[in-house]
Structure 1
Amino acid sequence: MKNVELKIALIPLVRSTYDIEEGKKVFQRQLNLLKRFEGVRWFAPSQIVEYVESMTNFLNTLKKESIDGIVLLSATFHLGDLALSVSSEFENVPIMCWAVPEPDYRGDRVRLNSLVGAHLDFSNLYRSGRRNVRFIYGTAEDERFIKKFSRWLNAIRAIKIWRDSKIALIGGHAKSFMNIDVYEPELFKEFKIIVEVLPLEMVFKHSPSEEEVQKIEEDYKNIYRYDENMDDVRLEKVARLAATFRSIAQTTRSSALAIRCWPEFAMHYGVSPCAAMSYDMASGLITACEGDILGAVTMLTLKAFGCKGMYLSDISQIFEEENALLFWHCGVAPHTLWDGRSERTLDTYFAGGKGVTVGFVLKPGPVTIARIDYIKGWSLFLAKGEAIETEKLLKGTYVKVKVKVSDPIGLVESLVQKGFAHHVVMAYGDWYEDFLELASMKGWKVHAEI
């Protein structure tokens, strides 16, 4: 979600016993290079900083701007009181301690000693109890630096997205699924996310725009083929649901919906919401089935990282001989993840013919498997895989994923025995390191399978 602007401060720290003229050049060059990062507004003092007193006005400016992150550039070696002062003023703002390579020697001593300065800062801050502090080495033109710095920005962006997010919980979680329940005060404490509980009747009685309903109906007809029990009456209900969910999200200013999708929808509304949720996911609205709030949080996090293709799924089968797992759900994956080969259908295979879902195989490609959960504290499950070409033999949306670990049974056993909920997010792309960066910043327990 690169359109969410981050406010990041770059503070160049120096000591006049070193080559501060070179330090000034380093600062200006790196600031210019940093401005290439998308979605970041940079704040920097007009001069390099040697004394705490000289940055007081600048720090006051940062407070007024509600800064999201601070980079302490070790332009030369410097005294540790500078970083400690910044840390005291911005206790909850993530800090990056940055060391740059040493330039060519002139005379008989190092000119910048940047590495030692950044090392001193990080050690001081970490030992004083700060955990949202990171160290980085290199320059903003180096590929390794760019990747690592981008992950740091993604973690900060996720934290900012959470802070500005609300999740609408429609109807509560599915019957007996207490493992996806969450204690709202803990959720707010960790993420600053508000949950607004809405009754199912609000959905059943909602009247969305008829023009939008008709457009969605046409979209469905262009994308999917009906199964033998599907008809235009059911399609109209599905399209009305898709429009309703979007309208409710806009009205309540919710970033995501977590929906109790059975059994009431089929019984009282006439169709299940699976196909409607699939449509809305394809248009960018995060919808989590069965009232899974932390499934929605995991997807919100991926969206903040920049992921455009994700799917809340069950792990339904283990193919030990293929080193693969089946990621399946009853039909909520967005059609934008279609493999381009399988037939796309609107199916009514459960709930007495009222369970309208979409059906297709998902596309191949590298994926990240993730779940943020609360298990006697905040935890993160992570794994890497490769979605592979899969024959369409089932209803619903699914794909086989060849996992990176050599023991797929062991991976699933680890997921289950650590207490994680039975839903995971399968996201296209490699977001493994981004999650690790975020978990480190937040102090979460990580269960990572590579």
Structure 2
Amino acid sequence: MKQTIRIGVVCIARKTFDFRAAKEIYEKIKNDLRILENVEWEFISDLVIEKEEAQKSAHDLASRRIDALVCISGTFALGHLVLELNKVIRKPILLWGLEELPYDGGKIRLNSVCGINLNASNLYKSGTKNYHIVIGNEIDTDWLDAIRVLKAFSTAHVGVIGSRAHGFFNLDIDELDLFKRVGILIDYYQLDDVFNQTIDNHEILERKSQLEKLFDLSDLNLP
């Protein structure tokens, strides 16, 4: 079973573009996202257009303890909206750009991709690099799976059995860097402590069954 994650979703826009069409697209996106399994969605219902709305949405989503943020560029929007969201939420961001709508004789209707470019540039130059970009009608499910991995790591208990061979410096673990990146603290165990444990046969069979569900073990000679 996939790790359950909680994802915040916001759609930003600007009234000088076709924000009404963006709202319709956003409603369809919300319905499509609700179908995905093992994701708890936290939607900001209305379009976020003004700076004050971004600030309110940021505190709202942060209070819901989301694991990551999806920021849909419904239309081109002013660059400070994403910065206001990120300033409070401080979680990985998916910048989602929409495909342009058919030309109807006036100005470009969404200009969403241009907004993505602006937001990515502003985030990068302000020191935020944990964002990803997708352009199209569907969310990037690989990004969602990456968030699952990050959440699993943040709640994991990871142990190292034994130690590296003498002189194999590249096999060392930079523990503080690992903690900084994924929130893992390492526990160390001696080989003797592991091999001398008494383990009930029922536990062995239970663990074997679990591994067989997760991995293809057909090439292994298991007892």
Shared fold (TM-score greater than 0.5)?
A: yes
> Are 1:14 and 1:74, in contact at CA under 8 Å, matched by a contact in 2?
yes
- SS of residue in 2 equivalent to 1:37: coil
Larger Rg: 1
**Which of residues 157, 160, 166 in structure 1 aligns to 2:157?**
166
> Does residue 189 of the first structure (1) align with residue 180 of the second (2)?
yes
Change (3 A) 1:201 1:11: same
The alpha-carbon deviation at position 28 of structure 1 amounts to 0.5
The one-letter amino acid of 1:206's match is Q
Structure 1 stretches of 5 or more lacking a match?
A: 141-145, 217-242, 247-278, 285-307, 310-335, 347-357, 359-450
Change (3 A) 1:96 1:76: same
The alpha-carbon deviation at position 7 of structure 1 amounts to 1.4
- SS of residue in 2 equivalent to 1:11: strand
Q: Show the counterpart of 2:141.
A: 150
Q: Show the counterpart of 2:110.
A: 112
Question: TM-score, with normalisation over the residues of structure 2?
Answer: 0.85
> Are 1:99 and 1:136, in contact at CA under 8 Å, matched by a contact in 2?
yes
Q: Show the counterpart of 2:119.
A: 121
The one-letter amino acid of 2:95's match is C
| Alpha-carbon separation, structure 2, partners of 1:174 and 1:102 | 54
Structure with the bigger RCO (C-alpha within 8 Å, sep 6+) is 2
Change (3 A) 1:280 1:127: same
> Are 2:61 and 2:89, in contact at CA under 8 Å, matched by a contact in 1?
no
Q: Show the counterpart of 1:138.
A: 136
Q: Show the counterpart of 1:101.
A: 99
| Alpha-carbon separation, structure 1, partners of 2:174 and 2:102 | 56
Change (3 A) 1:116 1:203: closer
| Alpha-carbon separation, structure 2, partners of 1:81 and 1:183 | 36
| Alpha-carbon separation, structure 2, partners of 1:82 and 1:123 | 13
Larger mean CA deviation between 47-56 and 179-188 belongs to 179-188
**Which of residues 166, 171, 185 in structure 2 aligns to 1:176?**
166
Q: Show the counterpart of 2:199.
A: 208
Structure 2 stretches of 5 or more lacking a match?
A: none
Q: Deviations over 1:241-275 (max 9, x none)?
A: xx8xx6xxxxxxxxxxxxxxxxxxxxxxxxxxxxx
> Are 1:8 and 1:71, in contact at CA under 8 Å, matched by a contact in 2?
yes
> Are 1:173 and 1:180, in contact at CA under 8 Å, matched by a contact in 2?
no
Change (3 A) 1:181 1:116: closer
| Alpha-carbon separation, structure 2, partners of 1:75 and 1:345 | 54
Q: Deviations over 1:120-152 (max 9, x none)?
A: 212221222221122211102xxxxx5xx1111
The alpha-carbon deviation at position 108 of structure 1 amounts to 1.9
Q: Show the counterpart of 1:288.
A: none
Question: TM-score, with normalisation over the residues of structure 1?
Answer: 0.45
The alpha-carbon deviation at position 82 of structure 1 amounts to 0.6
Q: Which has the higher strand share?
A: 1
| Alpha-carbon separation, structure 2, partners of 1:345 and 1:110 | 63
The alpha-carbon deviation at position 283 of structure 1 amounts to 4.8
The alpha-carbon deviation at position 186 of structure 1 amounts to 3.1
Aligned residues: 222
> Does residue 56 of the first structure (1) align with residue 55 of the second (2)?
yes
| Alpha-carbon separation, structure 2, partners of 1:194 and 1:50 | 41
Q: Show the counterpart of 2:40.
A: 41
> Are 1:77 and 1:112, in contact at CA under 8 Å, matched by a contact in 2?
yes
Alignment RMSD, CA only? 2.7
> Are 1:72 and 1:95, in contact at CA under 8 Å, matched by a contact in 2?
yes
| Alpha-carbon separation, structure 1, partners of 2:67 and 2:79 | 22
